[in-house]
């Protein structure tokens, strides 16, 4: 399901200048599934010679005991991902991520020069779990979000940030830095706009075994929504 949202976010990635997105909504509403569907959409709809490389990170894969350590771990993860896509014989510059993701710009520029047809999409799931010091006002928060803003403006790099109930606090504190990110709220299925998707979600898995009456679908929608 969620065809319209998948296409909306995916088509932003297919443009000549990719646009980054942040997905927000309640827990267990399907935000991660939406992000993963968008990655599949971008990969399958890419027009040659352009191709997409995607990287999905959960909070637990880069969290540390403090904010500085978390920024460092995130930088190192992203650096390793980008470095492995450099052409053979091209060496990546050494990078240190003490309180900043700025060195990622160097490798992004290098990839843009050496591999202009490759595009990179990074999903940071559970983004609203980041340490408060990373988004409240202060030198680290200002540097971190300025880095995200600059990186997401590159032609070959885009982010999808996925967050739940605490996401509004992050946007409230750093909304100016994320003003180039497109907000994509996710809620329960809409009867007026997503009824076809909802019916397909129920009917398709068992279409060879069950026939559904319209009244039964309506009743199920009322119970599950």
pLDDT at 73: 97
**Contacts of 141 by beta carbon, 8 Å cutoff, 6+ apart:** 133, 134, 135, 173, 174
CA distance 177 to 204: 42
Q: Is the pLDDT of residue 88 over 80?
A: yes
Tokens of 187: 């809620």
Residue-level pLDDT at 193 = 87
Report d(CA 155, CA 41) in Å as an integer: 19
Do the beta carbons of residue 144 and residue 75 sit within 8 Å?
no
Rounded average pLDDT over 70-81: 97
| Contact assessment for residue 106 and residue 93, using Cβ atoms and an 8 Å cutoff | yes
Residues 163/170, Cβ–Cβ less than 8 Å? yes
Mean pLDDT of the chain, nearest integer: 95
pTM: 0.90
pLDDT band at 188, cuts 50/70/90?
A: confident
């Amino acid at each position: 399901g969620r065809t319209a949202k998948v296409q909306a976010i995916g088509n932003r990635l297919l443009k000549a200048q990719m646009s980054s997105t942040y997905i927000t909504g309640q827990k267990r509403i399907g935000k991660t599934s939406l992000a993963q569907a968008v990655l599949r959409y971008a990969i399958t709809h890419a027009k040659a010679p352009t191709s997409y490389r995607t990287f999905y990170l959960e909070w637990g894969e880069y969290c540390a005991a403090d904010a500085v350590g978390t920024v460092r771990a995130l930088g190192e993860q992203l650096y390793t991902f980008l470095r492995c896509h450099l052409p053979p014989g091209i060496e990546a510059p050494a990078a240190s991520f003490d309180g900043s993701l700025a060195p990622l710009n160097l490798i992004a520029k290098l990839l843009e020069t050496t591999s202009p047809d490759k595009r990179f999409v990074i999903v940071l799931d559970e983004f609203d779990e980041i340490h408060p010091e990373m988004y409240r006002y202060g030198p680290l928060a200002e540097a971190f979000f300025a880095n995200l803003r600059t990186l997401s403006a590159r032609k070959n790099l885009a982010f999808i940030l996925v967050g739940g109930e605490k996401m509004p606090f992050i946007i409230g504190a750093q909304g100016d830095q994320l003003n180039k990110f497109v907000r994509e709220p996710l809620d329960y299925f809409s009867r007026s706009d997503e009824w076809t998707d909802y019916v397909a979600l129920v009917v398709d898995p068992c279409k060879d075994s069950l026939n559904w009456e319209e009244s039964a679908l309506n009743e199920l929608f009322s119970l599950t929504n």
